[in-house]
Structure 1
């Protein structure tokens, strides 16, 4: 099932995306919040093209796993160093989150901004100290993410907060796919396209630290809340984007996330 958050006029709500409906894809409105209580179909529906898809969740925090594909570790070793035995973890603020179709703003203080396509995990409930074998109990679903990074600031700063934390630097979407098992999500093709050119092409089976281990590690020291998001890492092929370009992260079985790079007027 694909759960989307959307707006129609001034109205914001959640719905189930029905791609097989007659007349094209539709969204079937749900009552309430699917992560914070009982949620049921209301009977209202709208054509998907007539609504605006928003970020599918509003996380309290975005937990990111760095250096989690060996080929990416190799290409970034001059900036981030070698891989580590345990997952490398950093945070993005909730204010960085935007949805598909929203602009990504190129900051004036940077001259080198990179895309990083990633599989994202959406957490279903309050959890801490989750053993790997119970990881499936706390996963609501999966979505696409783009860990936008001001690479020159990452290189010059002593930590990554500024480089990763600008407003709009965490596009996620277009929806949350809830129908995948951990095993299925652990072997999906992930591509990132700039314009018409494929820049990244990997599989989640190449993750150094898999989905179960990532959840177990993060929750060993941090409580996760419903709607929190874990970015699992990016494959090789990261590179710069400039204002005017469009970046699309596609994950098979999940969806397609597209954002335009722009400047603030």
Structure 2
């Protein structure tokens, strides 16, 4: 299933299921069932809620009046403020090489604030404090159950599904500081979406093409087979440090081709459109604007 949070009008976001360019409003169909308020609330309830979602889709698949055109809906953030985004650096050998850094012996984690998450279609604001805002295409996973001290085999079973993150980064701010927090966490620096594809629909998560296009021109291309640490290894490693909760996001790092290392460097400008595509998952598309001050 492809699950998203969306608006059809101003007001509270709703949970939807996407098929062939149309959206089924699961919140409306489920009535008072609180599990169907958002992607995270559905995922947190586990298999019973997911099975009911599938049953609702099967029951109403031929009822055209229940399905709305996806391009007429506004995407809402995939996660809420209670969830966490754990990002990983230097997880492709070619990206480590373009930074003149060795391949790490262990995953290099940092955090992206959930307050910076924006959905597909929402603009990435360029902050006045940076002149070097860059893109980073990343496959991401959502945790589906509480995880602590997991083996890699157990960690794979904890993946609810797959999505896409653009790890937008202010390079000048990143370089000014001894750690990455400020450069990674300006408002709107975590585009995430366009939806969550449940794990059962991703045939081989270790063979997904990952592409980034800036204004239609390809800037990054790789495949998840090139990850140094695959998602189960990342989850197992992090779970030895802290408890992961349903709805938490773990990204997998970006391949070579970031704008900072272009010749000449390429940074995001007002009017740009960034597209990150992962095969079998979808396309995360966001325009770029100047921050309102």
Give SS of 1:144's match.
strand
Name structure 2 gaps, 5 residues minimum.
Answer: 31-35, 61-65, 260-266
- Tell me how far apart the structure 1 counterparts of residues 77 and 142 of structure 2 sit (CA, whole Å): 12
Which protein shows a greater Rg?
Answer: 2
1-side partners of 2:202 and 2:18: how far apart?
21
What's 1:47 paired with?
69
Q: How far off its partner does 1:113 sit? A: 0.8
Q: Is the 8 A contact 1:69 1:207 kept in 2?
A: yes
Q: 2:87 aligns with which of 48, 56, 64?
A: 64
State the 1:45 CA deviation: 2.6
2:168 and 2:184 in contact (8 A); partners too: yes
Per the alignment, residue 218 of structure 1 pairs with 238
1:36 matched residue in structure 2: 44
TM-score normalised by L of structure 1: 0.92
Q: Secondary structure at the match of 1:74?
A: helix
Among 65, 87, 95, which residue is 2:107 paired with?
87
Following superposition, the deviation at residue 179 of structure 1 comes to: 4.2
Distance in 2 separating the partners of 1:233 and 1:223? 21
Q: Does 1:246 align with 2:246?
A: no
Matched, 1:103 2:123: yes
Say yes or no: does 1:205 pair with 2:225. yes
TM-score where L is the length of structure 2 = 0.83
The question of 1:73 aligning with 2:134 is answered no
**Aligned residue number for residue 27 of structure 1:** 23
Post-superposition CA distance 1:18-66 (Å, at most 9, x none) = 11xxxxx211122313123335438543221221122223362100111
User: Match of 1:242, SS?
Assistant: coil
Cα–Cα, structure 1 residues 210 and 182, in superposed 2: closer, same or farther, change >3 Å?
farther
* 1:210-259 Cα deviation digits (max 9, x unpaired): 12111111111021111110010001001121121110000000000011
Unaligned residue ranges in structure 1 (runs of 5+) = 20-24
* Paired position in structure 2 for 1:156: 176
CA contact (8 A) 1:55 1:175 kept: no
Q: Give the conservation status (yes or no) of the 8 Å contact 1:114–1:148.
A: yes
CA contact (8 A) 1:54 1:174 kept: no
* 4+ long deviations beyond 4 Å: 179-183
Contact 2:79 2:114 in 1 (8 A): no
User: Which residue of the partner structure matches residue 166 of structure 1?
Assistant: 186
Q: Which residue among 154, 176, 193 is the counterpart of 2:196?
A: 176
More helix by share: 2
Q: What is the Cα-based RMSD across aligned positions, in Å?
A: 1.7
